[in-house]
Amino acid sequence: MTVHLYFSLIPEALIASMLSPEEFGSYYAVGSKKKTAGQAIFFEIDPHFDSQYFRIKEGISRCVPHEDGEPKASTYISIYRVLEHVPVHALGKLYLVTQDGRTLGIDPSDTVPAMDGGLHLYKEIVPVSPLIASRLNPLEFYDLIVKNPTSLVSLHSIAFTELRLGELADDPEDGQIGDLPYSNLDHLREVLKDLKTKSVATKMVDRASPATFAYRTIKNGFYIGNESAIAFYPMPSSQELREMNYRWWRSANM
């Protein structure tokens, strides 16, 4: 049986598995008798990837079928500082899994979307997971967090997504909420208003933000990068998802 390498973002982990991405997504999100269920996001890693930081070969050697012939679902290789030791070029397809185990695969794009104006809302995923409002576009935000030598708070690498703000991006005081599902919207408005009137580029919205979030709030995709490179994984539009992957779209919007 083929052994796959998966890099989980929720929670951060490097895992060897004999399950296909779709099977692994269902197992990882829906759970078993010994684990709880929940949303999952993970990458498939280049099967030839190796690193002195991880005991990958040992992990793969332990990933063997059970006595009854059932494939080994997961062998954990690392649960700490995985992102900073996996190069961007080793990342394969990104998989988004709903809480009932439906899996959507996304390929990386050769380009990033056009950088628009207005205010932005970023959900950091790994290695930390706060919710941040900013005047910076995604690439400027990435540069600030990873590549700015003058910043007192920086990371070796980061995975994040931009969440929708709708009318609040341009008019935080009077803009309509629409279908935005965020909690404590009055606080969010105040943070966005401060960004409009003060010189700071970013402000914390929620330092203890949960790791999971509603997929329908994703504005355009996922960014993952380190000091050497950044990759962008575009989120399909709602129309594309309804037409091409209706079961996943319906599950994600429940």
The pLDDT confidence band at residue 37, using thresholds 50, 70 and 90, is: low
231, 220 Cβ separation under 8 angstroms: no
- The answer to whether residue 42 sits within a structural domain is yes
Domain co-membership, 153 together with 213? yes
Number of domains in the chain: 2
- The answer to whether residue 111 sits within a structural domain is no
- The answer to whether residue 253 sits within a structural domain is no
Domain co-membership, 46 together with 151? no
Residue-number span of the structural domain to which 199 is assigned: 120-235
Model pLDDT, residue 96: 98
Q: C-alpha dihedral over 181, 161, 21, 85, to 10 degrees?
A: -140
183-208 in b/e form (b: 16+ CB < 10 A) is: eeeeebbebbeebeeeeeebbebbee
Domain co-membership, 182 together with 149? yes
Domain co-membership, 173 together with 222? yes
94, 161 Cβ separation under 8 angstroms: no
Question: What mean pLDDT comes out for the span 164-171?
Answer: 96
DSSP annotation of 170: T
Residue range 81-124, pLDDT digits in tens = 999 999 999 999 999 999 999 999 999 998 888 888 899 999 99
Domain co-membership, 60 together with 89? yes
Tokens representing 27 are 């197992």
Longest distance between any two alpha carbons in the chain, whole Å: 65
CA dist., res. 8 & res. 126, Å (int): 10
CA dist., res. 1 & res. 5, Å (int): 13
235, 218 Cβ separation under 8 angstroms: yes
Domain co-membership, 90 together with 30? yes
Alpha helical stretches, state H, the chain: 21-30, 56-62, 138-142, 185-197, 238-244, 246-252
Residue 151 scores a pLDDT above 80? no
**Residue 147 CB partners (closer than 8 Å, separation 6+):** 227
Domain co-membership, 133 together with 230? yes
Domain co-membership, 141 together with 173? yes
Model pLDDT, residue 169: 96
Domain co-membership, 126 together with 223? yes
- The answer to whether residue 248 sits within a structural domain is no
Model pLDDT, residue 254: 81
- The answer to whether residue 100 sits within a structural domain is yes
Which residue, 75, 106, 137, sits at the end of a domain? 106
- The answer to whether residue 231 sits within a structural domain is yes
Model pLDDT, residue 210: 87
- The answer to whether residue 173 sits within a structural domain is yes
- The answer to whether residue 113 sits within a structural domain is no
Domain co-membership, 67 together with 148? no
221, 233 Cβ separation under 8 angstroms: yes
Mean pLDDT over all residues of the chain?
93
Instruction: Determine phi and psi for 234, rounding to 5 degrees.
Output: -75, 135
Domain co-membership, 172 together with 78? no
pTM: 0.94
Question: What mean pLDDT comes out for the span 7-14?
Answer: 96
Q: Is 25 helix (H, G, I), strand (E, B) or coil?
A: helix
Domain co-membership, 100 together with 15? yes
Q: Using alpha carbons only, how large is the chain's radius of gyration in Å? A: 19
Tokens representing 201 are 């580029």
